[in-house]
Amino acid sequence: MHFVNAKGILSPQNGMNLYRGCTHGCIYCDSRSRCYHMDHDFEDIEVKENAIELLEKALRSKRKKCMIGTGAMTDPYIPLELELGNVRKALELIYKYGFGVTLQTKSDRILRDLDLLSRINKLTKCVVQMTLTTYDDDLCRKIEPNVCVTSERVRVLKILRDSGIPTVVWLCPILPFINDTEENIAGIMDYCTDAKVYGVICFGMGLTLREGNREYFYRQLDRCFPALKDRYIYEYGSQYEVRSRNHESLMKLFRDKCDGSGIKYDIEEIFTYLNKFEEKNIGSQMTLWDL
């Protein structure tokens, strides 16, 4: 890891990344794309050492409460977080100043902060977004090697359900010739039904590949799925959008499963929900001395 001083911490949409880079090792990771201008090794985590100070200043100066998001570019619960605790410190500030929060992760490490997430959710709103790509733990270990397997993520979703914290699942990416099967989509959706998730975000059955992440993805295919790279090159060339041949039938299965379980799947509706700040019991807010 290495440290930098950041000029700011919140984006215009009130998103933040306390870290840059990741060690989960997901073979399809879009954040490796060169368009994001990461000028260091992806596994060499960049830590914004003044992030908490910047966040408090930003929250204190905001005229209107809102949802604060994290995890869009870098999973907030990489192993380094257990050492540094910056996500925990950020959540304490979000709670202190009465903001809502939504976090996107693949890690069961989020359970460390269940107490804070519950407090935020009682005061305003907390939504946890969890990525699920395969219901098969063995396949999960191949394509997402350094993070907890799907069954552990589903366990987290159920704990959050029982704690009254709403959840949203990202069903992506779906890799052609790897996890683009009816069995896989049905298995994931059955998990979502059991966990009573609010919604599932799915942009289609496929993935995106561009300079930076394409090369990494192909190296991982050579390692994990020999000869499959040649099939990708033949089928898709240098396309940005790589769509499964099974896209139509899998999307129908996905929508039918959602309709049958009352799970939201309209992307605009879900993002509106994620971004909508809701105040609940202002008078019940606790101070940091109660944490």
pLDDT digits (tens, 9 = 90+) for 238-289: 999 999 999 999 999 999 999 999 999 999 999 999 999 998 865 544 444 4
- pLDDT computed for residue 228 by the predictor: 97
Q: Please report the pLDDT score of residue 283 as a whole number.
A: 52
Which candidate, 111, 121, 225, places its Cα nearest to that of 166? 121
pLDDT above 60 (res 18): yes
24-63 pLDDT, tens digit each: 999 999 999 999 988 889 999 999 999 999 999 999 999 9
**Rounded Cα distance, 72 and 209, in Å:** 17
- Answer whether residue 291 shows pLDDT above 80: no
Backbone angles phi, psi at 187, to 5 degrees: -65, -45
Q: Which CATH number fits domain 2-281: 1.10.260.40, 3.30.450.40, 3.20.20.70, 3.40.50.300?
A: 3.20.20.70
Model pLDDT, residue 37: 86
Per-residue pLDDT, 39 = 85
**Does residue 101 contact residue 69 with C-beta atoms inside 8 Å?**
yes
Kindly report the average pLDDT of the chain as a whole number: 95
Q: Mind listing the pLDDT tens digit for each residue in 206-230?
A: 999 999 999 999 999 999 999 999 9
The CA R_g of the chain, rounded to the nearest whole Å, is 19
- Specify the pLDDT at position 91: 98
pTM: 0.94
Could you tell me if residue 25 is left (phi over 0), alpha (psi between -120 and 50 degrees) or otherwise beta?
left
| Single-letter amino acid, residue 193 | T
The full DSSP string for 221-252 is HHHHSTTHHHHHHHHHTT-SEEE-TTHHHHHH
Q: How much of the chain exceeds pLDDT 70, in percent?
A: 96
Structural domain boundaries in the chain:
2-281
Check whether 67 has a pLDDT greater than 50.
yes
pLDDT for the residue 43: 94
112 touches 88 (CB < 8 A)? yes
What is the phi/psi pair of residue 213, to 5°?
-80, -25
